[in-house]
Amino acid sequence: MNYFGRNIKMRGLFIIAFLTWLSNDIRAQNPNQYGEDYFMSLKTFREKVSDTISLDHLRYKIVKGDTVVPYKRNFGKDSLKLNKVRYILKDTTFLDIYKSIAYRSVDKNEPRHRFWSDDIIIYFGESVSNYYKRKLKKFIRLNLNEIPNLNIKTTNNLEKSNFVIYFDGDFEYEGRLKNNYKRRINYRTYWTGSDIDKVNLKLIPEFYTDKNAILADLIRGFVINLGFLNKSSELGCDSVFSNCYELVEDLTAIDKEILTYHYSRGFCVGMDLKSFEEQDAAAREFYKYNEGSNYYVLFRKDRF
C-alpha cells in the first residue's frame, strides 16, 4: 500500500467546540450575546483558564462529589457564521475500536482523521470484468448508500474520476505501483490536509486462487480507502475491517457504525488523534457537570 499526502493547511476547515444550553440557547434567543455559561471542574479551570484566582471568588459548587466553577466562554460574533452540530458522544469501548481503525500514522506524524469531502467517483480499468463491477456496485448500493455524507458514483470518463480500480496487465494508472509485485493488492492514496483527493487501487490476479478471493480484496480495499483506514485484530472475520481474507458482502452493525461515525459531522472532523482525544475528554466532562445541556461542534458554512 502506498500513500501521498500534501502537508498543507486543511482546505477551509475550521472546527471548534461550542458549549451551549439545550434548554436555553442564548445565541438563538439573543444574537447580540455571544458568551455561553457552563460548569467545568476546578482542576480543568486551573489548567486551562487560571491558577491564580481564589476559589472564594469563583462561585463554586459541588456536583457529583467534584468541585466545579461557572465559566463564560466567548467565541465572538463570527460564530454566528458557522453551522452548529451537536457533538456525538460514543461509549469508550466503541471509540477504542474506532480510533484503532480511523487514525493511521504517516511517517511518524500524529495520526489524523482523513475522509472524502467530495463525491467518490469510481473509474474501472478495462481489465476489470463486468462480474467485479456488478459485485462492487451491489455492495455499495446495499451497504454504503445509507452512510450520511458519503456519496459514491461511477463514471466511464477517467478524467472525471478520483478513484481508479484496475488489475495488473492493464494500463498503468499509477506509476508508483508499476513495479510493486510483493502484494496482491496495492493502492496509492493522495490527500490535501485531511481531505482525500484521489485513490488508485490495483490488484494482481495471478496471486489469487479464485474469483471470491479477488472480490474479497476488492471490497475490503475499497472500504479501507473510504478513509485512510486500518484493519483491526479486535473484529471477527465477518467484519470488513478484520485482518481476515474471507469474502464480506454485507457490512456488520459495527462496520456501519464505524463508517457512519467517520462521516458524521458531530465530532471533530479532520483533527489529529491527540486533539480528538482532548476534545472528547472535554465533551465528557461537560456532560458530567451540565445535565440538560449539549456540547456542540461548529463548522464553517462553506466547508460542509
**Residue pLDDT, tens place only, 275-295:** 999 889 989 999 999 888 888
pTM value is 0.82
CB contact burial 60-96 (16+ within 10 A = b; e otherwise): eeeeeeeebbebeeebeeebeebebbebeeeeeeebe
Strand partners, 86: 296
Task: Give the end-to-end CA distance of the chain in Å, rounded to a whole number.
Answer: 29
Q: How does pLDDT run across 227-267, given as a tens digit for each residue?
A: 999 999 999 999 999 999 999 999 999 999 999 999 998 77
Q: What is the DSSP letter of 142?
A: I
Contact assessment for residue 207 and residue 182, using Cβ atoms and an 8 Å cutoff: no
Rounded to 10°, the helix 211-224/130-139 angle is 50
Q: Give the residue-averaged pLDDT of 146-159.
A: 96
If one compares 20 and 200, the residue with the highest pLDDT of the two is 200
pLDDT at residue 11 tops 50: no
CA distances from 118 to 9, 11, 13, 92, 276 (A): 17, 12, 14, 30, 22
Helix (H) or strand (E) holding 92: helix 92-102
Q: How does pLDDT run across 179-217, given as a tens digit for each residue?
A: 766 789 999 999 998 999 999 999 999 999 999 999 999
Binned at pLDDT 50, 70 and 90, residue 5 comes out as low
131 contacts: CB under 8 Å, gap ≥ 6? 211
Q: Give the residue-averaged pLDDT of 68-92.
A: 78
Domains of the chain: residue spans and CATH: 15-88+285-300 (no CATH), 95-262 (3.40.390.10)
If one compares 48 and 283, the residue with the highest pLDDT of the two is 283
